[in-house]
Amino acid sequence: MLPADATLRPIARELYASVRDLPIISPHGHVPPVWLADDVPFADPTSLLITPDHYVNRMLHSHGVSLADLGVAQADFTPEQSRNAFRILCSHWSDYRGTPVKFWLESELADIFGIDLAPSADTADQIYDSIAAALVTPAFKPRALFERFKISFLATTDDPCDNLEHHAKLAADASWHGTVVPTFRPDKYLEPARPDWIELVDNLGAVSGIATDTYAGWVAAMENRRAFFKAHGAVSTDHSHRDVRAERLPDAEAERLYGLARAASITVDQADALRRHLVFEQARMAADDGLVMTIHPAVYRNHHTPTFERFGADVGCDIPLSVEFARATQPMLEAFGTAKNFQVVFFTMDETTYSRELAPLAGFYPSVFVGAPWWFIDSPEAMARFRASVTEAAGFSKTSGFIDDTRAFLSIPARHDLARRIDSGYLARLVGEHRLTMDEALDVARDLVVGCPTRAFKL
Amino acid sequence: MLPADATLRPIARELYASVRDLPIISPHGHVPPVWLADDVPFADPTSLLITPDHYVNRMLHSHGVSLADLGVAQADFTPEQSRNAFRILCSHWSDYRGTPVKFWLESELADIFGIDLAPSADTADQIYDSIAAALVTPAFKPRALFERFKISFLATTDDPCDNLEHHAKLAADASWHGTVVPTFRPDKYLEPARPDWIELVDNLGAVSGIATDTYAGWVAAMENRRAFFKAHGAVSTDHSHRDVRAERLPDAEAERLYGLARAASITVDQADALRRHLVFEQARMAADDGLVMTIHPAVYRNHHTPTFERFGADVGCDIPLSVEFARATQPMLEAFGTAKNFQVVFFTMDETTYSRELAPLAGFYPSVFVGAPWWFIDSPEAMARFRASVTEAAGFSKTSGFIDDTRAFLSIPARHDLARRIDSGYLARLVGEHRLTMDEALDVARDLVVGCPTRAFKL
Amino acid sequence: MLPADATLRPIARELYASVRDLPIISPHGHVPPVWLADDVPFADPTSLLITPDHYVNRMLHSHGVSLADLGVAQADFTPEQSRNAFRILCSHWSDYRGTPVKFWLESELADIFGIDLAPSADTADQIYDSIAAALVTPAFKPRALFERFKISFLATTDDPCDNLEHHAKLAADASWHGTVVPTFRPDKYLEPARPDWIELVDNLGAVSGIATDTYAGWVAAMENRRAFFKAHGAVSTDHSHRDVRAERLPDAEAERLYGLARAASITVDQADALRRHLVFEQARMAADDGLVMTIHPAVYRNHHTPTFERFGADVGCDIPLSVEFARATQPMLEAFGTAKNFQVVFFTMDETTYSRELAPLAGFYPSVFVGAPWWFIDSPEAMARFRASVTEAAGFSKTSGFIDDTRAFLSIPARHDLARRIDSGYLARLVGEHRLTMDEALDVARDLVVGCPTRAFKL
């Protein structure tokens, strides 16, 4: 994963060596905190590596494999089915050529399990058995792996109404020395067009103890839950609406639309206007309480309705959409872009926005950071394009640092390792072309791993 | 056309050597079938290499040459004019630097005609005479070249009302062993806003023997002609509307709009809605009869009206447009995306859709393939960008294989050769960066030439 | 800034050596002509290198520095403040890593001032003093530098009502041998929605001596001023509207909307329609008088209103927008695209348009040239992407040549030098991949510096 070029390779190697063993900072991801709180051993190779990982599943599905055969949404998946799912993966291994999944999983096999076999129909059972044997040992329990992976900071993603009991348990556990914090993810509560919105907001009221039958109540309840999250260590809030626009309404209009939404009589256009206002309010709260916003808009979720109905969300049929940031974020940045406490990280899957909008925004607003390549594009070529597109107008220091954004706990080291390699390769080229000295490149390489996430997420 | 890097070049050479001599599969193009059916010798260098090739013409036009001087739409182009057109091309040869036309034409001169001269004002006549001398020999008749080019499969593009007589003649000819099949191209019959639509649909009725005065009749007539094409070996249907949306209307509404269109009283918006429905119906038929859809939307055809009026269509003034696939194809993919017989290949000239939409779609839907770089971007840099943008989310095996899409018969070997070189270079880099083993890369290289088009087009 | 690859580097070096010392043609920029007319020495390092350069300022601002501390819009900036601003820049020097500003400024220090220190908090004062000492010497006066920089052609950018006195003074000065011409920049007079439009157009009437109370008067006054500029050596007109559409209205409708605008009762939509018509009229005039149009649309100017209100325009908070050329320019190109005298250069900050629209347009229309990477993307990676995206459909010879577009006079040599290096690197790769011979590449390298701007701007 380092450049093949004979001039650049030794430079990249030296840069990579300097960051390879640095601890992992993971300020955004989807690891369930209960794993670490309760330190339960992982059940079996398939439920660990295949069933919950939409990166793995979607490729198999695209080659005609049913998600049911991979355990997705299967309540009673038998050991034999689990073994069979692993066979399916291994016999399709050649379909992963050129994808990052191949690197991640091969790294996991080699570096975590010490398995040196190439996955194939022939080796599937042997690999399965080796992993299964490891998973029952203490060294492969979540806490032991957390330590082995050298994760110095891990953020989970949590519902505003979550009681954060697992985070509390970890905090209260004197034998636990890791840092695991929640992230406030309020999307659902900001979408008045959702069929379950009224119920959700009722629950928000119940959990916060603040009635949410008025807009003012919603605001107070949100502030209450944000404070609760902050008290449990949260550093950021996470937002993913299809539309990125955030725009203030007059208070009276907000109150009026909120009333319509509560009465289930809001129109689609009104619901859009209210959502944009509620996102704007989140920005206003961020400027107050200092929680960093991460925004990653423009995904067509559950693109294939029959799959969603049978298998649920997050199973690999979300499709990125084109997006526009400059106009859409203008009202928010006009209001808070230079506010002292405000900070926002924009992530995208639409690479066209890198050089055109995101780098120019981050290269002007002190509050704006450009998020590292994310979902779908957290891969070698895309990461290289990111640096080549963003750096010239924003520099290195206004980028977020690598974000793994994963629920595949075991892939965390491989994902960060890949990012470090690609960044080392990019920096090596700048050194090779005399655009940076080696000292400067070494300094940047370290800053990308340590300084950038620390600044972007106020760690 | 292989990487210059000393590490990668030998790897690329070995990969390229392994695929260089494989037969050519050409599942989409515009070679007139009559050439092979009747095996008529080509007339002269200009009418073979310049006049019908909009790649060549448009560049000369952009440097101030009139299309008339190149023979476009000239009924009585004299031998002297033909020779003069060739002189114009050769004296403008430097303007083709950096374009694929230079590679294709120089390859044709060297590999097909054995001419080792660089085109220039000084060499124009000599080259012209050498080509002209070759064209009157048996070795340069279409069938001989077809065999020499090792074309194992060639699809032409044909009107639904075409009687396919040339395909029938070839099929009935015991001395002919090649495979040349038609492709069903129904665009015109799906555009109710066209001034000639009523007449076209009348003719569809006449040819199919099924009255097309109702929508139901149109459907039956279409199914009839698709079956006719399939019986003549067709494997795919080809669609190029400016808009890519396909969406079902209720039957009654479809019938109503169809009636308005037949009465020449349909509005622009209604015609859009009806077209989207008719395209959706083509997808429904594809799920039934199993013909693969190829869709390449979003071209502003005949951008310069005066040129269109004087010289007709397909003369080089079509301009690509930005396009959106994720939303637009959702209704079609929701309905047929996992249907057993359905398969669709999306081509684009808007490269932004590669990583953002097309690779994610092909990486989930078993029916979706990403088409290789097409028209305007069937060129070295663009092909390399294609692999780098598509592979990480879709792998290699959900791409279409190279499509030449050309009416320039003599350029077919050079075009496929170029694609094989660029893919070899890309794979060499993956090997050089230890992302693939050499064995894996050799396997992929062959699959891109043989397996991909075979699967994508159900050959 | 040349490729690191051992095969390509010597090729790139030879190509670069062949163009490195060619004179600079700068057909579009923002150097104030008074500097050369009056040959006043530069005041101090900060007011020369920092305050007026939004490339420098925006990055500092994005790291929390107030524009006020950099002298922006500060009437009474003291020498101590000036020195302090320079210290701020130097202590933030690491934030410029990977940006072209670093290359430009380091080149200026080394090549113009002979200063071999890396900027840092420690070296700030020493560098400041060295520059300040140089600026008071005759060798650093504007005219001396102009000569030293070997600028063979320099265009400034000027308001249509400007009396061009500085250009006239230079033309009348027998001791001055340089070529400095104005550029006609009429944007403000074409935006009827501007609050100051009536006043501007009144002034246009006063300056031209032609009453502008009617549309016909506006046209005549514009033609009058264009002729005045042409008489003073202007070769081009420059246009930057957010929207790129140009479209003719019927005369009566134009007259009607113009009347509404004059009466301050035009709606937003009507103002859009009128602007599009007025831009179309500029194209019509261009086809008549032969001045080349440069069009660079789609910028969200003054994105952060509080910054605009405090510091004014052009201070670094303009953000690029996505843009569409194919549809928007169709009416203009249909009317004038093949007209004998008409020429237009399209610049963009939306790189997606390179391969999709701009190269196809320039590869058909004799009048269309693709502008070199501009503002925000006049940087190594972006320049390389430009060649890789544009060349295959438009060739090299339909591009504009490098445009520095700068008000930072001292950066002009470094900017052109950077472009020559990047183009040499690109050409070296084509040679290394046997896509061009070395002779062809040498010819292209020279053409990019000399031939392209000469043809695109009719020099």
**B344-375 confidence digits (pLDDT tens):** 999 999 999 999 999 999 999 999 999 999 99
Work out the minimum CA distance from C306 to partner chain A, whole angstroms: 7
Q: What is the pLDDT of residue C252?
A: 96
Work out the minimum CA distance from A228 to partner chain C, whole angstroms: 30
The amino acid sitting at C435 is: R
Mean pLDDT of A300-309: 97
Mean pLDDT of A122-132: 98
**C317-345 confidence digits (pLDDT tens):** 999 999 999 999 999 999 999 999 999 99
Q: What is the pLDDT of residue B332?
A: 98
DSSP string, C49-94: HTTT-HHHHHHHHHTT--GGGGTTT-TT--HHHHHHHHHHHHHTGG
Residue of B nearest to C445 (CA): B97
**C194-226 confidence digits (pLDDT tens):** 999 999 999 999 999 999 999 999 999 999 999
Q: Which residues of A touch B (CB under 8 A)?
A: 1-6, 58-59, 61-64, 94-100, 102-103, 300, 303-307, 316-322, 349-352, 376-377, 379-382, 385
Chain B residue numbers with beta carbons less than 8 Å from the beta carbon of A382 are 355, 392
Nearest Cβ partner for C4 among A330, A334, A432: A432
Work out the minimum CA distance from A394 to partner chain C, whole angstroms: 7
pLDDT tier at A424, thresholds 50, 70, 90: very high
**B411-429 confidence digits (pLDDT tens):** 999 999 999 999 999 999 9
What share of chain B in percent tops pLDDT 90?
A: 100
The stretches of C112-175 forming alpha helices (DSSP H) are 124-135, 142-148, 165-172
φ, ψ for residue B128 (rounded to 5)?
Answer: -55, -45
Q: What is the pLDDT of residue B305?
A: 97
Q: What is the pLDDT of residue B378?
A: 96
Nearest Cβ partner for C61 among A364, A393, A430: A364
Q: Do the chains contact at A4 and B429, CB–CB below 8 Å? A: yes
CA distances from residue C416 to A394, C20, C451 in whole angstroms, order as listed: 22, 9, 15
Q: What is the pLDDT of residue A79?
A: 97
**B26-72 confidence digits (pLDDT tens):** 999 999 999 999 999 999 999 999 999 999 999 999 999 999 999 99
pLDDT tier at C411, thresholds 50, 70, 90: very high
Mean pLDDT of B86-92: 98
What share of chain C in percent tops pLDDT 90?
A: 100
Q: Do the chains contact at B376 and C360, CB–CB below 8 Å? A: yes
Work out the minimum CA distance from A181 to partner chain B, whole angstroms: 30
DSSP letter, residue B371:
P
Q: Please count the residue pairs, one from chain A and one from chain B, whose beta carbons lie less than 8 angstroms apart.
A: 129
Touching subunits for chain A (3+ Cβ pairs under 8 A) = B, C
Chain C residue numbers with beta carbons less than 8 Å from the beta carbon of B98 are 387, 391-392, 395-396, 430, 435-436, 444
Q: Which residues contact A168 (CB under 8 A, 6 or more apart)?
A: A232
Touching subunits for chain B (3+ Cβ pairs under 8 A) = A, C
Q: Which residues of C touch A (CB under 8 A)?
A: 1-6, 58-59, 61-64, 94-100, 102-103, 300, 303-307, 316-322, 349-352, 376-377, 379-382, 385
The amino acid sitting at C13 is: R
Work out the minimum CA distance from A181 to partner chain C, whole angstroms: 27
Work out the minimum CA distance from A97 to partner chain B, whole angstroms: 6
**C279-308 confidence digits (pLDDT tens):** 999 999 999 999 999 999 999 999 999 999
Chain C residue numbers with beta carbons less than 8 Å from the beta carbon of A439 are none
β-pair type (C151-155, B319-320): unpaired
Chain C residue numbers with beta carbons less than 8 Å from the beta carbon of A433 are 1-4, 380
Nearest Cβ partner for A319 among B8, B361, B443: B361
Give CA–CA dist B333/B246, Å, rounded: 9
pLDDT tier at B263, thresholds 50, 70, 90: very high
Q: Do the chains contact at B97 and C338, CB–CB below 8 Å? A: no
Q: Do the chains contact at C440 and B97, CB–CB below 8 Å? A: yes
Give the ipTM: 0.97
Chain C residue numbers with beta carbons less than 8 Å from the beta carbon of A392 are 98-100, 377, 379-382
Give CA–CA dist A69/A90, Å, rounded: 14
What residues does A239 pair with on adjacent strands? A295
Q: What is the mean pLDDT of chain B?
A: 97
Give CA–CA dist A24/A411, Å, rounded: 12
Q: Do the chains contact at A62 and B363, CB–CB below 8 Å? A: yes
Q: Do the chains contact at B360 and A96, CB–CB below 8 Å? A: no
Touching subunits for chain C (3+ Cβ pairs under 8 A) = A, B
Structure tokens at C350: 């939306």
Chain A residue numbers with beta carbons less than 8 Å from the beta carbon of B361 are 303, 319
Q: Do the chains contact at A364 and C5, CB–CB below 8 Å? A: no
Q: Which residues contact C439 (CB under 8 A, 6 or more apart)?
A: none
β-pair type (B180-181, C24-26): unpaired
pLDDT tier at C379, thresholds 50, 70, 90: very high
Chain A residue numbers with beta carbons less than 8 Å from the beta carbon of C303 are 326, 330, 333-334, 361, 364
The amino acid sitting at B225 is: R
The amino acid sitting at C135 is: L
Mean pLDDT of B284-291: 98
HEC profile of B392-445: HHHCCCCECCCCCCCCCHHHHHHHHHHHHHHHHHHHHHHHHCCCCCHHHHHHHH
Work out the minimum CA distance from A431 to partner chain C, whole angstroms: 9
Q: Do the chains contact at B364 and A305, CB–CB below 8 Å? A: no
Residue of C nearest to A427 (CA): C98
pLDDT tier at C183, thresholds 50, 70, 90: very high
Candidates C324, C355, C430: best to mutate against B (most CBs of B within 10 A) is: C355
Work out the minimum CA distance from B71 to partner chain C, whole angstroms: 17
Q: What is the pLDDT of residue C413?
A: 98
What residues does A26 pair with on adjacent strands? A154
Candidates B2, B322, B433, B442: best to mutate against A (most CBs of A within 10 A) is: B433
CB distance A416 to A23 below 8 Å = no
pLDDT tier at A276, thresholds 50, 70, 90: very high
Work out the minimum CA distance from A295 to partner chain C, whole angstroms: 19
Q: What is the mean pLDDT of chain C?
A: 97
β-pair type (B344-346, B368-370): parallel
CB distance A316 to B364 below 8 Å = yes
Q: Do the chains contact at B357 and A98, CB–CB below 8 Å? A: no
